[in-house]
Amino acid sequence: MRLSRYFMPTLKETPAEAQIASHRLMLRAGMIRQSSAGIYSWLPLGFRVLKKIERIVREEQDAIGCQEMLMPTIQPADLWRESDRYDDYGPEMLRIRDRHDREMLYGPTNEEQITDIFRGAVRSYRDLPQLLYHIQWKFRDEVRPRFGVMRGREFLMKDAYSFDLDRAGAQRSYNKMFVSYLRTFERMGLKAIPMRAESGPIGGDMSHEFVILANTGESEIACHRDFLDMGWALSDIDLDGDLQPIVDAYTAKYAATDEERDPETERALGDDLVTARGIEVGHIFYFGTKYSKAMGAAVNGPDGEDITVEMGSYGIGVSRLVGAVIEACHDDAGIVWPVPVAPFQVGLLNLKPDDPACTAACEDLYATLNGNGVEALYDDRPERAGVKFADMDLIGVPWQVIVGPRGLQQGVVEVKDRGTGERGEQSIESALAMLTG
RNA sequence: CGGGGAGUGGCGCAGCCUGGUAGCGCAUCUGCUUUGGGAGCAGAGGGUCGCUGGUUCAAAUCCAGUCUCCCCGACCA
């Protein structure tokens, strides 16, 4: 992409409304624009990141056999009356009437809808288990939206739902999601710690929040020190095998969100206890027959009897993750994207577009990078070098290739690693080899 | 929903107390000079001062109402 033609309205000054780093940087980098409180438009740069995160989430859901579908944003109120949640949900639910005065709502979540689909389609225990998900916009009319996309009213969420014959099956589905989440966040360069969460009316321990550590996180958390250095060798796991040992390994050590903290355990941990601030990026939850019972979602068992299915739901805040990654990965100059979610891999800076030789070298590099499938943002604007450096640091592409006549005379370009800040001169060939290899 | 703050060119702000033809910086456009970490000079364009009503000869400024946004708290993915 040529920056001269890219819609990326960066700001030198910070808009007054933005308080936390991710919000400031997303506005300054031209990733988002606010529409109204808690509702944002995603500009091309932000949209690229959103799509990258969405893709990783999708791939890791697919990897455990969870099937993608798409449910609507607008739902009929009657469905929610079946589960008694239409009244329970309160003013956070955005209620709408259509032209025929039918009561509708903008979905804050989709348990009712998926249960409705399931009960109308599945009759036999032979069709279980089922794992289904979609990635869809949600609306929750928060009392007080804040922190940019971290707590918006409209937000993109991956929500998955599992249907199993019994508790043991539900546990297997839960474990799949648990491991899938570990892998998902790891791929984004995040350290997400699974923390025991409020278990609700079902009881047991099948509810976990996945929290990433960041100084500006919303909630106070506490965990065993070992989580900080825990190796996350998860890429070679057999996802069809028994995942219980992995889940056990990750839940053996103490980790709790604010509401779930246990002073006694924490005292016993002593120096092994770490308290920090965290951002919840995922939540998995087993809720048994709460909805299937209320809505009549049952299958025929082996003996012909009706068996109410066991369900769980599993959410990842996709749009929130964009902000969360920035909270975890930024410095004074701007964003420092982890490679897998970076909007572009390489920023190519032409320091002197007026110079034919310099521009020729840049065009050549740009074409080669494109030809090798490297996403490059080529700053071919006539701006001064300082503007280009500042913008490129701000938007945080992992590698910057800086091309100027001075270096070219020596046959070298400067390559900067945004993460480490290391800069060095290299021949064009070796720079290309590194970036395309 | 309680408490606090703010709405003035795209962005950041001053002006309001003490009413009198709307300003500054950045950005944008033109020209010249510049060009290796957010350039210099000269010129130009752009705002019914959130909205409605009131007071007044006269309102960005005073008064009343209203809408929106932000912050703290409670609440929540």
pLDDT in tens, A283-322: 999 999 999 999 999 999 999 999 999 999 999 999 999 9
> pLDDT-derived band of residue A15, with 50, 70 and 90 as boundaries?
confident
Statement: the CB of A12 is under 7 Å from strand B:
yes
With 90 as the cut, is the pLDDT of residue A19 above it?
no
CA(A316)–C1'(B21) in Å?
Answer: 58
CA(A13)–C1'(B15) in Å?
Answer: 22
pLDDT number for residue A234: 83
Residue pLDDT, tens place only, A404-421: 999 999 999 999 999 999
Statement: the CB of A94 is under 7 Å from strand B:
no
pLDDT number for residue A214: 85
Above pLDDT 90, what percent of chain A?
81
Chain B positions with an atom below 7 A of a protein C-beta are: 1-2, 11-13, 25-27, 34-39, 68-77
Indicate yes or no: pTM above 0.90: yes
Element (H or E) spanning A211, and its range?
strand A207-213
Half-sphere exposure of A234 (CA within 13 A, CB side): 24
> pLDDT-derived band of residue A200, with 50, 70 and 90 as boundaries?
low
Statement: the CB of A357 is under 7 Å from strand B:
no
Candidate from A84-93, A201-210, A381-390, A399-408 with smallest mean pLDDT = A201-210
Q: Do residues A321 and A365 both lie within one domain?
A: no
Domains in chain A, number: 2
CA(A394)–C1'(B39) in Å?
Answer: 20
Q: Do residues A305 and A393 both lie within one domain?
A: no
Q: Do residues A312 and A360 both lie within one domain?
A: no
> pLDDT-derived band of residue A366, with 50, 70 and 90 as boundaries?
very high
Residues of chain A (31-60) having a beta carbon less than 7 angstroms from strand B: 34, 36-38
> pLDDT-derived band of residue A232, with 50, 70 and 90 as boundaries?
low
Its domain, for residue A380, covers 344-436
pLDDT number for residue A352: 94
Contact A299, A124 (CB under 8 A): yes
Q: What is the CATH number of the domain that holds A428?
A: 3.40.50.800
Q: From CA A334, how far away is CA A375, in angstroms rounded?
A: 20
Q: Do residues A286 and A377 both lie within one domain?
A: no
Q: Do residues A277 and A258 both lie within one domain?
A: yes
Q: What number is the ipTM of this complex? A: 0.93
pLDDT number for residue A202: 53
With 80 as the cut, is the pLDDT of residue A94 above it?
yes
Q: Which of A350, A332, A426 is nearest to A387 (CA)?
A: A350
Contact A190, A338 (CB under 8 A): yes
> pLDDT-derived band of residue A229, with 50, 70 and 90 as boundaries?
confident
Q: Do residues A289 and A371 both lie within one domain?
A: no
Number of neighbouring beta carbons within 10 Å of residue A91: 9
pLDDT number for residue A1: 95
